[in-house]
Amino acid sequence: MVRKVEKDRIKILATGNKTLSGFTIIEILVAFFILAIAALAFSSLITDSSRSINLIEERFLANNIAENLALKNLVKDDYLTSSQYDEGEETFLGMPFIWERELATSVERNRIEIEIKVFSENGDLLGKSKVFKEVFAQ
């Protein structure tokens, strides 16, 4: 007798509310899919921030190279060759860079304009520096 009542209660509990229903598998799949997209967006955020710090570092180093080369050309004559255009490679703090040097002479003002441009290995311009060197007529 007692058992019968118990069984009935369980039956009532299980089927009591006919409107109650869980998510269907399709709904769960869609939810997971959306979650996955959000996670993907988050991961792209991480790579973005690491890329921007790399860019900042590259620019900082490239500008340092440009300034160094420009000043070296300024204070030492043997860095200055007669060719108007020169280029080379430089490693700075373990990172490779490519530099270009262009000379422009201004006869009236007795000076040489030295411009250094520094590029990444892919050819992106990262930094430049320009100095004027006084030349005295011989």
Partner 1 sequence: MKGLSLIEMLIAISLFALLALLGSSLLNISVSSNLSIQEKNDRLDKLVLLNKYLRQDFTQSVNTIPRDQMGAYELSTMELNSSDSDEILLRLIKLSDTDGLEDTGALRKIIYKLDNGELIRESYRYIDNEDPFQSEILLDDVDYVDLEIFFENVSYEAWPISEEIFFDSSLPEAVEVKIGFYDLSIFNKILLVNYG
Question: What are the residues whose beta carbons fall under 8 Å from the beta carbon of 55, sequence distance 6 or more?
Answer: none
Contact 132, 124 (CB under 8 A): no
Q: How far is the CB of 63 from partner 1 (least distance, A)?
A: 10
Q: Identify which of residues 78 and 108 has a Cβ nearer to partner 1 in the complex.
A: 78
Q: How far is the CB of 37 from partner 1 (least distance, A)?
A: 11
Q: Residues of 64-90 as b/e, b for ≥16 C-beta within 10 angstroms?
A: bbbbbbbeebbeeeeebeeeeebeeee
Q: How far is the CB of 2 from partner 1 (least distance, A)?
A: 26
Q: Identify which of residues 3 and 64 has a Cβ nearer to partner 1 in the complex.
A: 64
- Give the footprint of partner 1 on this chain (CB under 8 A): 14-15, 17-18, 20-22, 25, 28-29, 32, 35-36, 39, 42-43, 46-47, 49-50, 53-54, 56-57, 60, 64, 67-68, 71-72, 74-78, 91-94, 134
Q: Identify which of residues 21 and 83 has a Cβ nearer to partner 1 in the complex.
A: 21
Q: How far is the CB of 95 from partner 1 (least distance, A)?
A: 8
Q: Identify which of residues 32 and 84 has a Cβ nearer to partner 1 in the complex.
A: 32
Gap between the Cα atoms of 102 and 59, Å rounded: 20
Q: Identify which of residues 6 and 48 has a Cβ nearer to partner 1 in the complex.
A: 48
